[in-house]
Amino acid sequence: MDIILLERIGNLGSIGDVVTVKDGYARNFLLPQKKALRANAANKKVFEANRERLEKENAERRGEAEKAGEKIAGAEIVLIRASSNAGQLYGSVNVRDIVAGLEAQGHEVDKKQVVMGSPIKTIGMHDVTVALHPEVHVTVKANVARSDDEAELQSQGVDVLAQMFEDEQREIEEAASENKIDPNIEPGEIPAELLEDGVSTPEGETTREALIEATAPEGDEETPAGE
């Protein structure tokens, strides 16, 4: 369908541009939202008669959006959420959460202005776009953390999720080091630290022989043949 844009739309164009879009996109979004007109002869005349007014109104709205954007740009919203040890949230952060966070800071934003490809599902610092006007987009930060202390670290630039993985890996390596077996030990030989106190190793005997001799019950000594 050919339409006349009444405001700037993404990659389609600016006010007054005649573009072709899918019928469903025009009928379900652009036309009902009064963002465009069907590009027929009658509507072209109506648009040209009102072009100056439409462009002036758009400029005013853009100016208001730019002023609001100066206040909102860079805002940081702290959202405390429960998560797994891997940083996966038990739930998610969505558009409503962003709007509520901005409103708590005194910023009036409509949920239709918050652009999120998908809900946030991990802890960390996330960029969220707010489209205050087709030509005015600003970025805010969603600081999703498990505690206020964690949120503070993230505000300072600490990658808490990466740090958490590093700490876990270090614990695994330390545990493995404590249980490490000496690679130079002879097969079947018992490490010295596992021997009971008081068991010595006479010169010429292996650790195994000394241990067997020290722990053998009395009377179990081998009797020479013929006795």
- Can you tell me the distance from the alpha carbon of 170 to that of 167, in angstroms, rounded to the nearest whole number? 5
What the chain holds in terms of domains, given with CATH numbers, is 2-71 (3.40.5.10), 76-173 (3.10.430.100), 181-217 (no CATH)
Where are the alpha helices (H) located in 105-197, listed in sequence order? Answer: 148-155, 160-178
Q: Which residues contact 57 (CB under 8 A, 6 or more apart)?
A: none
Predicted pLDDT of residue 186: 61
Please state the pTM of the whole predicted model. Answer: 0.67
Residue 97: Cβ within 10 Å count: 21
Residue pLDDT, tens place only, 15-45: 999 999 999 999 999 999 999 999 999 999 9
What angle in degrees, to the nearest 10, is found between the helix axes of 148-155 and 160-178? 110
